[in-house]
């Protein structure tokens, strides 16, 4: 039986962190990417990098042919997500069925919609009103149906927003770049609302742990990170780590509507502003009880490491 783990979307933030974790644990791993040049900048030198297109069913079947665990970390631009992600997931699910591999599908909390209870547990209603959240729910439902039918072994860890090495999205990259440059950092929604955030290296460790645990499959697991932070707290720590004076401003929905940004980017930023306007805190008691020795990196240490990475890798974002 194969012991090779396959990471689809291995050059992305979480995918690359999973490759680093598996490599550090000396486990055979195949990193499937579209852009080899970028992958080599963010993956360990020893990584087995394979070019693959998750949108091609035959291509996915070939790269996953001998997989033990498949990590579905593929992401696509916001404006193409609804059209592309269901097909990509179908291809990865089909490859898992054929190879007999287990499937880890890292998720988020967009499917919940506005939190009805804080902290939210895994049985929170899937009441998303956004297209992003509804798409997430539809994909997760298809995967869990496959598990219930005995077609594939599937586990879904749910995370809050990531920060850390190679997390270069519209939320986190501007904060760490502003801290390094001593400029004002912008934050969506409110600066004073608590929000769970997780260091991407901790998220990858949780994915690998769940992927290696037979009893974890068929379930959803909240993995909330080292504790909630407000936007102000995160920004203050990022500037402190950079040795610059903290400067921050909140950006609400009106700001993004008036800036004349292209429509897909506006929708994404509006959703961020909405997400960070109210508390978003997850209940991680289930995961903590099942894995009592798992330890999160402190935010202070993780933010320091993140700032160091941005100082060395800003060219990746350009």
Domain of 30, CATH number, reads 3.40.50.720
**pLDDT averaged over every residue in the chain:** 92
Q: Is the domain of 125 the same as that of 55?
A: yes
Q: Is the domain of 151 the same as that of 268?
A: no
pLDDT at 318 over 50: no
Considering the domain boundaries, does residue 296 fall inside one?
A: no
Considering the domain boundaries, does residue 218 fall inside one?
A: yes
Tell me which residue range forms the domain holding 179.
173-194+229-281+304-317
Q: Is the domain of 185 the same as that of 92?
A: no
Q: C-alpha angle 205/52/62, rounded to 5°?
A: 95
Quick one: average pLDDT of 122-141?
Answer: 95
Q: Is the domain of 88 the same as that of 203?
A: yes
Q: C-alpha angle 198/204/208, rounded to 5°?
A: 140
Q: Is the domain of 92 the same as that of 220?
A: yes
Give the pLDDT of residue 111. Answer: 96
pLDDT at 179 over 70: yes
Considering the domain boundaries, does residue 298 fall inside one?
A: no
Per-residue pLDDT tens digits for 39-65: 999 999 999 999 999 999 999 999 999
pLDDT at 115 over 60: yes
Q: Is the domain of 210 the same as that of 256?
A: no
Q: Is the domain of 38 the same as that of 138?
A: yes
Considering the domain boundaries, does residue 297 fall inside one?
A: no
Q: Is the domain of 44 the same as that of 129?
A: yes
Count of the separate structural domains present in the chain: 2
Q: Which contacts of 255-259 are long-range, i.e. CB under 8 A and separated by 24 or more positions?
A: none
Q: Is the domain of 221 the same as that of 84?
A: yes
Q: Is the domain of 213 the same as that of 64?
A: yes
pLDDT at 282 over 70: yes
Considering the domain boundaries, does residue 124 fall inside one?
A: yes
Q: Is the domain of 182 the same as that of 210?
A: no
| Cis previous bond, 264, omega within 30 | no
Quick one: average pLDDT of 211-230?
Answer: 98
Q: How far apart are CA 98 and CA 70, in angstroms?
A: 12
Considering the domain boundaries, does residue 85 fall inside one?
A: yes
Q: Is the domain of 274 the same as that of 190?
A: yes
User: How would DSSP label each residue in 148-201?
Assistant: HTTS-EEEEEE--EEESTT--STTTHHHHHHHHHT-PEEEES-TTS-B-EEEHH
Q: How far apart are CA 152 and CA 38, in angstroms?
A: 32
CATH number at residue 243: 3.90.25
pLDDT at 5 over 60: yes
Considering the domain boundaries, does residue 295 fall inside one?
A: no
Considering the domain boundaries, does residue 299 fall inside one?
A: no
* Residue keyed to tokens 């700001």: 255
């Amino acid at each position: 039986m194969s012991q090779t783990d396959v990471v689809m979307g291995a050059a992305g933030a979480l995918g690359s962190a999973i490759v680093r974790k598996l490599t550090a644990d000396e486990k055979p791993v195949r990193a499937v990417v579209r852009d080899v040049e970028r992958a080599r900048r963010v993956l360990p030198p020893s990584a087995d990098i394979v070019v693959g297109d998750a949108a091609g069913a035959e291509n996915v079947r070939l790269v996953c042919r001998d997989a033990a665990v498949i990590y579905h970390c593929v992401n696509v631009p916001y404006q193409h997500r609804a059209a592309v992600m269901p097909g990509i997931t179908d291809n990865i699910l089909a490859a898992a069925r054929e190879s007999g591999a287990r499937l880890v599908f890292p998720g988020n909390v967009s499917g919940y919609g506005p939190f009805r209870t804080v902290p939210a547990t895994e049985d929170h209603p899937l009441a998303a009103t956004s297209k992003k959240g509804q798409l997430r729910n539809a994909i997760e439902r298809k995967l869990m149906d496959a598990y219930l039918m005995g077609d594939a072994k599937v586990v879904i860890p749910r995370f809050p927003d990531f920060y850390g090495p190679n997390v270069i999205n519209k939320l986190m990259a501007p904060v760490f770049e502003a801290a390094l440059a001593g400029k004002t950092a912008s934050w969506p929604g409110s600066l004073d609302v608590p929000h769970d955030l997780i260091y991407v290296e901790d998220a990858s460790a949780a994915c690998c742990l769940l992927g290696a645990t037979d009893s974890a499959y068929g379930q959803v697991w909240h993995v909330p990170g080292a504790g909630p932070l407000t936007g102000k707290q995160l920004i203050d720590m990022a500037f402190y780590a950079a040795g610059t004076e903290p400067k921050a401003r909140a950006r609400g929905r009106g700001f993004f509507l008036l800036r004349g940004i292209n429509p897909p980017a506006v929708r994404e930023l509006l959703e961020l502003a909405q997400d960070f306007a109210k508390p978003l805190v997850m209940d991680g008691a289930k995961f903590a009880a099942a894995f009592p020795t798992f330890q999160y990196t402190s935010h202070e240490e993780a933010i320091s490491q993140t700032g160091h990475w941005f100082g060395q890798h800003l060219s990746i974002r350009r």
